[in-house]
């Protein structure tokens, strides 16, 4: 019987995950289906339990349900525990197991696809919501010092406190950023969705710097700003999407697909 998987979000119609997983399944010869399911905003848990009871093998979870998914799991992987957010579920013997592949996906895209070496670099993470929390631990693991900037400083402070044992981390306001320079600036805010630019000062990028927007699908104001400010590399988050999907695929199927042809196909 074909194994069933899905991505759950709200809204979900724009999701590229079904196409990505179909391409992975084709490439690795796996007998599986993958669909996009919109859960009502107040109905995430019943949707997940229904899928589990109907025999689905697992699912991905996206905005705005990653924190609820964390709370729902019977068992958590280390990455999900650190992030307090879950993007990948596996249903096993009636139990809901959760992990988070977002951080590994980001690192894989930055290091392998973009060829940017992370060790000992200074990073600035913009935003302190779920998207930012999901990638912090892997950034420390890769040997980076991280400043977290957020309009609402409290939220950045909570994250910095939560991760302070992991590495060098500071919470900053946007005003604090004046005069500071970074090798890597990651936009984990939802500003791009609204065509807004976080209030960044000029002169933020060191020579050779990478500006990375976790959003994909179009040039965001952050990406345009980074180009104008002379960032050496500017990237959207499509590669991260494909890489986090490959990590989830590996959790479910035990094989890691080759992401390059899939990323090429999505870019054309």
Residue 244 assigned as binding residue: yes
Strand order in the sheet with 58-61: 32-38, 3-9, 58-61, 88-92, 95-99, 75-76
SS3 string, the chain, reads CCEEEEEEECCCCCCCHHHHHHHHHHHHCCCEEEEEEECCCCCHHHHHHHHHHCCCCEEEECCCCHHHHHHHCCEECHHHHHHCCCCEEEEECCEEEEECCHHHHHHHHHHHHCCCCCCCCEEEEECCCHHHHHHHHHHHHCCCEEEEECCCHHHHHHHHHHCCCCCCEEEECCHHHCCCCEEEEEECCCHHHHCCCCCCCCCCEEEEEEEEECCCCCCCHHHHHHHHCCCCEEECCHHHHHHHHHHHHHHHHCCCCCHHHHHHHHHC
Residue 143 assigned as binding residue: no
66 carries an active-site annotation: yes
**Residue of minimal CB distance from ligand ATR?**
129
Q: Closest separation between CB of residue 225 and ligand ATR, Å? A: 12
Residue whose CB is less far from ligand ATR, 155 or 170 = 155
Confirm or reject binding of residue 187 to ligand ATR (CB under 6 A): no
Phi, psi values for residue 99, rounded to 5°: -145, 175
Residue whose CB is less far from ligand ATR, 6 or 131 = 131
Residue 141 assigned as binding residue: no
Q: Contacts with ligand ATR in 131-170 (CB under 6 A)?
A: 131-132, 150-152, 155
Residue 82 assigned as binding residue: no
Q: Contacts with ligand ATR in 103-132 (CB under 6 A)?
A: 127-132
| Options 87-95, 101-109, 184-192, 228-236: segment touching ligand ATR (CB under 6 A) | 184-192
Residue whose CB is less far from ligand ATR, 70 or 140 = 70
Total interface residues for ligand ATR by CB under 6 A: 16
Residue whose CB is less far from ligand ATR, 90 or 177 = 177
- Distance in angstroms (rounded) separating the CA atoms of residues 215 and 143: 24
Residue 13 assigned as binding residue: no
Nearest to 226 by CA among 245, 211, 244, 207: 211
Q: Closest separation between CB of residue 3 and ligand ATR, Å? A: 29
Residue 237 assigned as binding residue: yes
Question: Catalytic residue among 66, 95, 164, 194, which?
Answer: 66
Q: Closest separation between CB of residue 211 and ligand ATR, Å? A: 15
In the annotated binding site for shikimate, the residues are 15-17, 62, 87, 102, 216, 244
In the annotated binding site for NADP(+), the residues are 127-131, 150-155, 214, 237
Catalytic positions = 66
Q: Which residues bind ligand ATR (CB under 6 A)?
A: 63, 127-132, 150-152, 155, 189-191, 196, 198
In the annotated binding site, the residues are 15-17, 62, 87, 102, 127-131, 150-155, 214, 216, 237, 244
């Amino acid at each position: 019987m074909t194994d069933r998987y899905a991505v759950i979000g709200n809204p979900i119609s724009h999701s590229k995950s079904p196409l990505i997983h179909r391409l992975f399944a084709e490439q690795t010869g796996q007998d599986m289906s993958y669909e996009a399911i919109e859960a009502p905003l107040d109905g995430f848990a019943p949707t997940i339990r229904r899928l589990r009871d109907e025999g689905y093998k697992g699912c991905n979870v996206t905005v705005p349900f990653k924190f609820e998914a964390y709370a729902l799991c019977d068992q958590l992987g280390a990455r999900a525990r650190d992030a307090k957010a879950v993007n990948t579920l596996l249903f096993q013997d009636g139990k809901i197991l959760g992990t988070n592949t977002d951080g590994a996906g980001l690192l894989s895209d930055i290091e392998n696809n973009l060829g940017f070496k992370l060790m000992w670099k200074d990073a600035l993470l913009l935003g302190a919501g779920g998207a930012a929390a999901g990638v912090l631990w892997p950034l420390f693991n890769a040997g980076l010092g991280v400043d977290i900037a957020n309009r609402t400083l409290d939220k950045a402070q909570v994250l910095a406190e939560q991760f302070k044992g992991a590495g060098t981390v500071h919470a900053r306001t946007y005003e604090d950023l004046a005069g500071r320079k970074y090798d890597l600036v990651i936009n984990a805010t939802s500003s791009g969705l609204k065509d807004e630019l976080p209030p960044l000062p000029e002169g933020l990028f060191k020579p050779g710097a990478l500006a990375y927007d976790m959003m994909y699908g179009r040039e965001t104001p952050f990406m345009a700003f980074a180009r104008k400010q002379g960032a050496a590399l500017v990237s959207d988050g499509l590669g991260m999407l494909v890489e986090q999907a490959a990590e989830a695929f590996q959790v479910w199927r035990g094989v890691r697909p080759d992401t390059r042809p899939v990323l090429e196909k999505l870019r054309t």
